[in-house]
Amino acid sequence: MTEVTALTRQRALVAKSIIDAFRVFSVVYCGTPKIGDNADHILIGAALMVGEADSRPMSATDISEYLGIPRATVVRKLQQLHQMGHVYPTIAGRRTQYRITLSDKPEVIEGAKKNIQKWKMLSRELSEMDAQNGR
C-alpha cells in the first residue's frame, strides 16, 4: 500500500469516527441519529466532552474559540442545552463554565475519552504522514 493510500484510509477512518461520535451524541441528547438539525448542539456537546476529558470545564468564550462559532450562538445553544438538562453552568471567579450532564450516562463520557485518545493518536499519525509527504 502506498503512503498516499494509507493516508487516505487514515483520513477516512478519522472522518467515520467523527460522524459515528456525532450520531451517538445526537441519539443520546437529541433522541435521533439525524445530525443535521442538531449540529450546533452536537458540536458544543463534543467541545464540552473534550473539556471533561481534559479536566478543563469550558466557558462560552472557550467553546466559541475552540469551534469557531460566534459566541452569541454558543451562549444561545448553551442556554437551550441547559433548559433540556444536558449541561449545567458553574461559576469560577468571574467566568461561567459549563459542564455536560452525564451522571445518568457514564458510558458516554468513557466512550468519548476513548475516542478523544484515538483521535489524538490518529492526528499525530496523520501529521507525521503529511510531513513525510511534504504537506
Q: pLDDT digit string (tens) for 21-80? A: 777 777 776 777 777 777 888 888 888 888 877 788 899 999 999 999 999 999 999 998
Note down the domain range covering 10: 3-120
Residue 42 inside a domain? The answer is: yes
Work out whether the CA dihedral 16, 102, 78, 64 comes out positive or negative: negative
pTM: 0.64
Tell me: the pLDDT tens digits for 4-27? 677 787 778 777 877 877 777 777
Q: Are 122 and 13 in contact (CB under 8 A)?
A: yes
CB-CB contact of 82 with 89 (8 Å): yes
CATH classification of the domain holding 31? 1.10.10.10
With respect to residue 82, please indicate whether it lies within any of the assigned structural domains. yes
Strand 87-92 and strand 58-59: the pairing is: unpaired
For the chain, how many structural domains are there in total?
Answer: 1
DSSP 36: G
| b/e code 77-104 from CB counts within 10 Å (16+ = b) | bbeebeeeebbeeeeeeeeebbebbbee
